[in-house]
Amino acid sequence: GQQVMQIPQYQHVQEGEDFTTYCNSSTTLSNIQWYKQRPGGHPVFLIQLVKSGEVKKQKRLTFQFGEAKKNSSLHITATQTTDVGTYFCAGRGTNSGYALNFGKGTSLLVTP
C-alpha cells in the first residue's frame, strides 16, 4: 500500500537549536496532517495541509507541503523543552482508500 516515510527517526538537540522532520511519499498526497505525541500520551492534531506549496505557521512551528504534494516538513525554531515528543505526519494518496497512513514518527529530545 501507499507508504509515508519519515526522517529522521530520532533527533536530540540542545534547547534553542532548530529542528526539522521530513515526510516523503512515493505517490501524490491529497492532504497531509501533523500530530504530536508527548511521552506516555496520545497523538494530538497540530495542522493539516492541502494545497500544493502550502506553508502554515504556528508560533515557532512552520509546516510546508511540497509543490508536487509528495513531501512535507515540520520546522521548529529555537526549540524548548516543551517541544519534547514524537511528531507524526499522516497522509492519504490521491488514489488510495479512505484512511490516513501514518509515518513512523520522529522522536525529539531537547536538553536544557
Partner 1 sequence: NAGVTQTPKFQVLKTGQSMTLQCAQDMNHNSMYWYRQDPGMGLRLIYYSASEGTTDKGEVPNGYNVSRLNKREFSLRLESAAPSQTSVYFCASTLGAGSYNEQFFGPGTRLTVL
Positions that interact with partner 1 (CB under 8 A): 1, 6, 9, 30-31, 33, 35, 41-45, 48, 50, 88, 90-92, 98-105
3-state secondary structure of 81: helix
- Taking the least distance from each CB to partner 1, the nearer of 13 and 47 is 47
| Contact (Cβ atoms closer than 8 angstroms) between residue 61 and residue 46 | yes
How far apart are the C-alpha atoms of 78 and 98, rounded to whole Å?
37
- Taking the least distance from each CB to partner 1, the nearer of 15 and 51 is 51
- Taking the least distance from each CB to partner 1, the nearer of 74 and 90 is 90
Q: How are beta strands 106-111 and 55-58 bridged, if at all?
A: unpaired
Tell me the closest approach of the beta carbon of residue 30 to partner 1, in angstroms: 7
